[in-house]
């Protein structure tokens, strides 16, 4: 995390690195195969419970690269204060990818939301929605450690945008429209105070 964290919006501190950190313009699983899902994710206990309530529906949309044995979907719960309930539950891996990732690189939790005409992120864990953004010690920052493992979105030749510009919908989801407007104002102030121009980050 950067050392200039003093702005707070709603429940979160803002690490200004999200304004300048380079990233691809948008995710494209046809290119990256959903590589960020190869390692699984930590869900909040409440998210885990919601997923398990949906297990029969999820199984219907899985392919044969995935396991329908629900006892193999999650690791044991563990304490973690970065999660709302104070308990995190990691997803397991199967065939070298998160149990919920299908062979085409799509998340089954997002796929069933589309198939059923629901909001696309209705069943998706928060940390999956946010990546490459992460909430660490109440701060919205960049998940550098995980991003560094990516072969598409972490390659400088593909990074023609910034995390802020590529993840506006995700930030709105987290902060709400009012919180996002406050974030935009803070970004303008931050870039101007630091003599940074937007153009600089939109180019290779
Ligand atoms: S974050 Fe990277 S690896 Fe994950 S879907 Fe987006 S482009 Fe692909
Ligand atoms: S739950 Fe879905 S988005 Fe999250 S890591 Fe697994 S496949 Fe990827």
Task: Point out which residues pair with 140 in neighbouring strands.
Answer: 14, 135
Question: Among residues of the chain, what percentage have pLDDT more than 70?
Answer: 96
Query: Mind listing the pLDDT tens digit for each residue in 44-66?
Result: 999 999 999 999 999 999 999 99
Query: Mind listing the pLDDT tens digit for each residue in 115-143?
Result: 999 999 999 999 999 999 999 999 999 99
Backbone angles phi, psi at 94, to 5 degrees: -145, 130
What average pLDDT score do residues 66-77 get? Answer: 98
Cα-to-centroid distance, 152 and ligand 1 (Å): 7
Q: Which two tokens stand for residue 64?
A: 């044969």
Which of 154, 160, 165 minimizes the C-alpha distance to 202?
160
What pLDDT is recorded for position 169?
98
Q: Which ligand is nearest to the CA of 129?
A: 2
What pLDDT is recorded for position 4?
76
Pocket around ligand 1 at a 6 A CB cut-off:
24, 27, 29, 32, 34-36, 131-132, 150, 152-153
> Sign of torsion, CA 176 122 11 159?
negative
Q: Ligand 1 pocket test: pick from 25, 33, 34, 156 the residue with the most ligand atoms within 8 Å of its Cβ.
A: 34
Q: Does pTM top 0.95 for this prediction?
A: no
Q: Which two tokens stand for residue 60?
A: 């219907």
Is residue 132 within 8 Å of residue 143, measured between CB atoms?
A: yes
Q: Work out which ligand 1 atom sits closest to the CA atom of 105.
A: 5
Is residue 187 within 8 Å of residue 135, measured between CB atoms?
A: no
């Amino acid at each position: 995390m950067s050392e200039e964290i003093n702005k707070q919006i709603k429940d979160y501190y803002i690490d200004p690195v999200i304004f300048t950190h380079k990233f691809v313009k948008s995710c494209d699983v046809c290119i990256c195969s959903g590589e960020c899902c190869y390692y699984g994710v930590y869900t909040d206990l409440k998210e885990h419970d919601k997923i398990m309530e949906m297990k029969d529906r999820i199984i219907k949309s899985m392919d044969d690269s995935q396991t329908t044995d629900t006892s193999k979907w999650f690791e044991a719960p563990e304490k973690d204060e970065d999660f709302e309930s104070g308990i995190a539950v990691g997803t397991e891996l199967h065939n070298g990818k998160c149990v919920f990732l299908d062979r085409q690189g799509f998340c089954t939790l997002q796929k069933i939301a589309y198939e059923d005409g629901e909001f696309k992120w209705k069943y998706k864990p928060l940390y999956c929605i946010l990546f490459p953004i992460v909430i660490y010690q109440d701060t919205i920052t960049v998940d550098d450690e995980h991003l560094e493992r990516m072969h598409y979105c972490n390659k400088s030749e593909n990074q023609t945008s910034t995390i802020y510009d590529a993840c506006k919908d995700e930030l709105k989801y987290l902060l709400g429209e009012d919180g996002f407007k406050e974030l935009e104002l803070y970004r303008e102030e931050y870039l101007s105070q630091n003599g940074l121009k937007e153009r600089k980050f939109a180019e290779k």
